[in-house]
Amino acid sequence: MNLFGTILLSWYQENKRLLPWRDTQDPYLIWISEIILQQTRVAQGYEYYLRFVRRFPDVKALAEADEDEVMRHWQGLGYYSRARNLHEAARSLPDGVFPRTYQGVRALKGVGDYTAAAICSFAYGMPYAVVDGNVYRVLARYFGIDTPIDSSLGKKTFAALAQEMLVKEHPADYNQAIMDFGALVCTPQSPGCMFCPLAESCSALAGGKISALPVKQHKTKQTDRYFNYLFVRMGNYTLIRKRTEDDIWKNLFEFPLLETDKDYAAEEFLRSDALSNFCQGHAETLVTPLSRGVKHVLSHRVIHANFYEIRLPESEAEKEFPGYLRVRLDDLDNYALPRLLHAFWEKHAKKDSDTCRM
Ligand code: SF4
């Protein structure tokens, strides 16, 4: 066993985090936990995981579920393509049987090298090394490697090194150990070098390069988008639509949206053609700004959101609104909304609608 692996394994025995998906070798449960944790911190993902597997305890239950229900159980986790891929992958498995080979696992929709290695090592004890952000950081610092981790050479170099360092007799524990170590000790900012068991042989510590490693060559480019949401109130009814386009939040529900090319001041927006077109044909329309300047950051986009309330007489709820669903406010929790809208609904509108019903 190499020194690096030996030290990590003994650190892990003392410091491992007790997490529900660590007590199982069920590949389905491990798959769900790994997909949830891909873009979500452990503390945040924990409750979601429990709720998700309580409702969908195995491949069959997930495959047979309605997509809207799957999305509703994912609501709040973001990166909704993960939920769609999980659902599609579950539906692709004959008789609900999870694959037993690395190639079979890797072929599942939404499963990349990292997830396949995690599932195969944790569930089946197969010798595949995981490489995620934590692993890149620990390896880059400990071995002092400045090849950019997002270059093709970097990916190859780190994948080969990770595989070389893997303790083949204990692949599950080793993989968990290096990831926990990166999350708890060798953290992106202020790593705990003073009490680090690898400190004596760490290249970055010796060379004063901790904050310079790992190296990334590209910064993620973000684009700004300006969303103006219309929260329509017709007594106890409102309007929503399903986002079916190939865009963020596909298959989630939202209030009527008017996207603009910049952030318009409220007075300007209230005078805009887009808004008057939306309100056309409806008598006694009262539009009020509810919440403005809400910033919602996604991986590649920054959403600048404004919310307006449009009050219409309750009798308008009888009319047709092509492209929209008319739903009761007290039924809105049954529709999966993006986190931005869910937060708005919880904070502003829900309180107001509860007050109105009293
Ligand atoms: S000494 Fe510091 S930089 Fe090196 S592995 Fe330990 S925590 Fe990471």
Q: How far is the CA of 45 from the centre of ligand 1 (A)?
A: 26
Can you name the CATH fold of 223-357?
Answer: Nucleoside Triphosphate Pyrophosphohydrolase (3.90.79)
pLDDT bracket for residue 331 (50, 70, 90): very high
Q: Where in the chain is the domain with CATH 1.10.1670.10?
A: 129-217
Q: Which residue has the tokens 């406010």?
A: 329
Query: Active site includes 34?
Result: yes
pLDDT at 321 exceeding the cut of 80:
yes
> Given this model, what pLDDT does residue 283 score?
66
> Given this model, what pLDDT does residue 314 score?
84
Q: pLDDT digits over 272-313, tens only?
A: 888 888 887 776 678 889 888 899 988 789 999 999 999 988
pLDDT bracket for residue 358 (50, 70, 90): very low
Which amino acid would we find at residue 118? A
pLDDT at 259 exceeding the cut of 80:
yes
pLDDT bracket for residue 356 (50, 70, 90): very low
Give the count of beta carbons closer than 10 Å to the beta carbon of residue 205: 19
Pick the residue whose CA is nearest to atom 4 on ligand 1: 202
pLDDT at 117 exceeding the cut of 80:
yes
Q: Where in the chain is the domain with CATH 1.10.340.30?
A: 7-128
Q: Which CATH number fits domain 129-217: 3.40.1360.10, 3.40.640.10, 1.10.260.40, 1.10.1670.10?
A: 1.10.1670.10
Pick the residue whose CA is nearest to atom 2 on ligand 1: 193
DSSP 85-96: HHHHHHHHSGGG
Pocket test for ligand 1, best of 181, 189, 198 (most atoms within 8 A of CB): 198
pLDDT bracket for residue 97 (50, 70, 90): very high
pLDDT bracket for residue 353 (50, 70, 90): low
Per-chain mean pLDDT for the chain: 90
Cα separation of 272 and 289, whole Å?
14
Q: How far is the CA of 189 from the centre of ligand 1 (A)?
A: 11
Report residue 107 as tokens.
Answer: 């072929």
Q: How far is the CA of 161 from the centre of ligand 1 (A)?
A: 17
Which amino acid would we find at residue 277? N
Does domain 7-128 match CATH 1.10.340.30? yes
